[in-house]
Structure 1
Amino acid sequence: MKRLARYGPREIVLRAWTLVWLMLVWTMLWGNFSVANTINGLLVALVITVLLPMPRLPVEGRLHVVSMIRLAFTVGWYMVLSSLQVAWWAIRPGPPPLSAVLRAQLSVKSDLVMALLMNTLTIIPGSVVLEIDQERRLAYVHVLDVGSPKAVASFYAQLRQLERLFISAFERDVDWHPDTNPLRESDTREEV
């Protein structure tokens, strides 16, 4: 009870939601919604959350729903378009497209949004993020088609559009409140 007192209501709800989510994943993996599976799922969720706690991440902006919906549709469009391009490159006659590692300067502010952007870029076929330099805000991305300046410019334009959408959805200047209390090692560990 002493540990719960140091958490606010939002933190308690978040932890409860995590338990419920992990329990649902467990029962869905077993494919049978029985009482025994639900109890086992709850026990597994408790073990995971107590023994493997996630570090607290600073959330420094607000989520804007309309921008998030626009982002989701844009990512979906890029995924379909890129899937068709990669499929065409796989079946067309001739040599494979020229690929290379490109460096991109990022303008997102938070590490959380940068991680979301890089994961999104990786799930879009034709590009894989290889390395991220957090201090300098650089990303090194393997891109399949760099055979022409137009193809390289197209990749950078796609990245800039995704970046603008992520900033619009998560990091608007009006709602931006930088974290003034950096995470300490003691904040990320649970007391047992």
Structure 2
Amino acid sequence: MNEGLRRAGARLGMAVWLLGVWLLLWGRVDALTLTGGVVAVLVAYAVSRLPTVPMVTRVRPLPLAVAAAEFAWDLLVSSVVIGWHALRAPGRVRGAIVEVEARSRSELVLLAVTTSVSLRPGTLLVDLDRDRSLLRIHGMPVRDPDEADSTREGVLRTERRLMRALVTPDDARRTEDI
């Protein structure tokens, strides 16, 4: 698909989303509300740089189900680990900021990865350098470089699962070698 056409489609997706929110806020659909919404969307695009809606070229159901199941398992394990440390020695639990260089360039996949990481007990997104796809994650417990590497590998595993499940134009070539 042509890059310009894909960008126009993504911008149109964001415009439709904004118009839908406008209509929900007003609580009714009539000619005046619809016209006002279109004007509001056009003004919003004229005065700001709105993000585009990330495009997904293909959703793979089986890898998505695997990613969801592994996320549920990660939630259980991390909850038990953090709970154990909180009960056993709450004052001695150490954390660290771990840098993770993501392979994905897709905003959608990075959003899914950072949301997944932040929902798990013991990990939290601190910073995202989108230009370099560099994530800074606060992880607990992290007492030594091996545990930092384990945290980093956990984030990269999550990213690989999501890249397999959600194929985007930005990552289409990268998913073949994962």
TM-score (norm 2): 0.67
- CA deviation profile, 1:85-127 (whole Å, cap 9, x unmatched): 1111111146422111111100012112111111111001101
1:150 to 125, 146, 151: 146
- Which secondary structure does the structure 1 equivalent of 2:124 belong to? strand
- Counterpart Cα distance in 2 of 1:65 and 1:41: 36
1:99 to 73, 90, 95: 95
- Counterpart Cα distance in 2 of 1:80 and 1:62: 29
1:90 to 83, 86, 89: 86
Alignment of 1:145-184 (within 5 A): 145-171=141-167, 176=172
Q: Structure 1 residues 56, 86: CA separation in 2 closer, same or farther (over 3 Å shift)? A: same
In structure 1, the gaps of 5 or more residues are: 1-6, 24-39, 178-192
Query: Are 1:74 and 2:70 counterparts?
Result: yes
CA contact (8 A) 1:104 1:139 kept: yes
Structure of larger gyration radius: 1
Q: Structure 1 residues 55, 94: CA separation in 2 closer, same or farther (over 3 Å shift)? A: closer
- Which secondary structure does the structure 1 equivalent of 2:58 belong to? coil
Alignment of 1:41-60 (within 5 A): 42-43=27-28, 50=37, 55-60=51-56
TM-score (norm 1): 0.62
Q: Structure 1 residues 120, 93: CA separation in 2 closer, same or farther (over 3 Å shift)? A: closer
- Counterpart Cα distance in 1 of 2:52 and 2:149: 37
Q: Which amino acid aligns with 1:127?
A: T
Q: What's the offset of the Cα at 1:149?
A: 3.1
- Structure 1: which 4+ aligned runs deviate by more than 3 Å? 40-44, 50-56
Identical aligned pairs, as a percentage?
Answer: 20
- CA deviation profile, 1:36-55 (whole Å, cap 9, x unmatched): xxxx99449x89xx468885
Q: What's the offset of the Cα at 1:150?
A: 3.0
- Counterpart Cα distance in 1 of 2:125 and 2:56: 24
- CA deviation profile, 1:4-62 (whole Å, cap 9, x unmatched): xxx9xx96xx76xx67xx97xxxxxxxxxxxxxxxx99449x89xx4688854130531
